[in-house]
Amino acid sequence: MEKPETRDFRERHFAVRGGVAVVTGASHGIGLACARRLALDGYQTVLVGRTADSLKTVEQSFASQGLEARSAICDVCDLDAFASLIDGLDRLDILVNNAGGNRPGPFVDVTRQDFDWLLDLNVRSLFFASQAALRKMMQMGTKGSIINMSSQMGHVGLPKRTVYCLTKHAIEGFTKALALEAAPFGIRVNSVAPTFVLTPMTEGYLADPEFAEFVQSRIPLGRCATPEDVADAVAFLASDAAASITGTSLRVDGGWTAQ
């Protein structure tokens, strides 16, 4: 058995290897916060998204702050295009599978189209993005990290979110299984499971006073998370401070799932 490397705590704490981090859904919300945080930590960040204008705006913003980043226009549901993007990188240390979505509604009203859309975006694309990244890391001998954006709904249920909960529970199971396959190569796989986060995707739901009150009542800390809260968790899992953590779900949920 390989002996763990011993380093001074000051060297271990959020140590950065100056590598390359790919973040999907990076043009706004949680993905943008994760990309910015990793860039601030010294990673060359690849911003993946579907909209050229949004990505270019983010890239220019990063450049103005002296952060290394480049945009890559790619729909993660185009599996071949994303695999080609990963294959074309000179280096890959971190993949943050953040792209995802939701179409809430009563179970009896779920259409096959909505079901397929959510499974394709939240599960299928994440699965094959991870496959492409793992192959690249193995090929290069990189002891990297794959971080999957899950949700507290990967641990509990909520009405009108049957398909979303299904996809996030799938991500949690996938994370554990892949962590076991990747561990012999020194590659770690974890998930981050946020509560409701104040983003463009959730602002419509939280605009309903009754639903907003329900959400706040379920969070013991009394507030929704911010994108930066989630980005901090991602940065920790990406860092050497989490060198012995794999197959784990880090819940950024304000205590929701502790009840």
Give pLDDT, residue 211. Answer: 87
Residue 6 domain-assigned?
no
Residue 4 domain-assigned?
no
Q: Which of 164, 174, 196, 256 is catalytic?
A: 164
> In the chain, how many domains are there?
1
Cα 6 from Cα 152, distance rounded (Å): 34
Give pLDDT, residue 9. Answer: 59
Residue 137 domain-assigned?
yes
pLDDT per residue of the chain (259 residues) written in tens, 0 to 9: 555 555 565 555 555 557 999 999 999 999 999 999 999 999 999 999 999 999 999 999 999 999 999 999 999 999 999 999 999 999 999 999 999 999 999 999 999 999 999 999 999 999 999 999 999 999 999 999 999 999 999 999 999 999 999 999 999 999 999 999 999 999 999 999 999 998 877 888 888 899 889 999 999 999 999 999 999 999 999 999 999 999 999 999 999 999 9
Residue 217 domain-assigned?
no
Chain mean position to CA 245: 16
Residue 256 domain-assigned?
no
Residue 212 domain-assigned?
no
Give pLDDT, residue 127. Answer: 98
Q: Looking at the chain, how many residues does it have?
A: 259
Please check whether residue 157 is in contact with residue 140, taking contact to mean a CB–CB distance below 8 angstroms.
Answer: no
Residue 120 domain-assigned?
yes
- Torsion angle (degrees, nearest 10) of CA 7, 11, 14, 20: -90
Q: What residues contact 131, with CB distance under 8 A and at least 6 apart?
A: 83
Give pLDDT, residue 61. Answer: 95
**What domain range is 24 assigned to?**
15-197+226-251
Sheet holding 188-194, edge to edge: 69-73, 44-49, 20-24, 94-97, 145-149, 188-194, 249-252
**Strand-pair category, 94-97 with 20-24:** parallel
Residue 2 domain-assigned?
no
Cα 48 from Cα 54, distance rounded (Å): 11
Give the phi and the psi of residue 208 in degrees, each rounded to 5.
Answer: -80, 110
Q: Indicate which CATH number applies to the domain containing 39.
A: 3.40.50.720
Give the phi and the psi of residue 252 in degrees, each rounded to 5.
Answer: -105, 70
Chain mean position to CA 135: 19
User: Is residue 164 annotated as part of the catalytic site, yes or no?
Assistant: yes
